[in-house]
Amino acid sequence: KNEVEQSPQNLTAQEGEFITINCSYSVGISALHWLQQHPGGGIVSLFMLSSGKKKHGRLIATINIQEKHSSLHITASHPRDSAVYICAGGGADGLTFGKGTHLIIQP
Amino acid sequence: DTGVSQNPRHKITKRGQNVTFRCDPISEHNRLYWYRQTLGQGPEFLTYFQNEAQLEKSRLLSDRFSAERPKGSFSTLEIQRTEQGDSAMYLCASSWSGEQFFGPGTRLTVL
């Protein structure tokens, strides 16, 4: 059983919709990371958070330490947001990754 | 470009051959990580270094895998006697304060 679980695995939405991707983890972590991976592309770090909420442009990430749960939200989604979004937990000694959420935003 | 670089980007080899990949981290980053990603899966952690010290290697996939970071700068990952199951994307990341910056990866195909 993976120690980091994401849902949904696949998500297709229309441009402009509000998107939520969820992540639950069963391991003790010092930080929770949200990463973005485009097809054939490298991985880009979106957020690293250990408590509360962070916002960057149209992206918002939240974490509830007690419930071991984090969410990534995308407001006013756009086709260029189409990518795989990966949740990862861990600390300085390496990350444990979820399997990713494949997001497609249709125009 | 001062990001993380990896070479080669693609490697095709025959089963049984040895391969070596190189990662050049962001210059001021003291931590360097190696991950493997197979198709449709999230990456899995292999090993990491703090400066030149390899602090975790128990999750290397087998004794055919080894990694070095001799001067605390670039790192190499070697796979000996490659098998078809080794075909994957090998990712390197570096960090200073916790946030990890990833390289483009080396895609290995073992025929």
How does the average pLDDT of chain B come out, rounded? 92
Mind listing the pLDDT tens digit for each residue in A32-89?
999 999 887 789 999 999 999 999 999 999 999 899 999 999 999 999 999 999 999 9
**In angstroms, what separates the C-alpha of A3 from chain B's closest C-alpha?**
12
Q: For residue A86, which phi and psi values (nearest 5 degrees)?
A: -120, 130
Tokens 């292999």 map to which residue? B46
Instruction: Output the six-digit token pair for A75.
Output: 């407001």
Q: Which residues of A touch B59 (CB under 8 A)?
A: 94
Q: Which residues of B touch A25 (CB under 8 A)?
A: none
Question: By the 8 A CB rule, do B19 and B87 touch?
Answer: no
Q: Which residues of A touch B101 (CB under 8 A)?
A: 45
What pLDDT sits at residue B1?
55
Give the residue from chain B lying closest to A6, CA to CA: B42
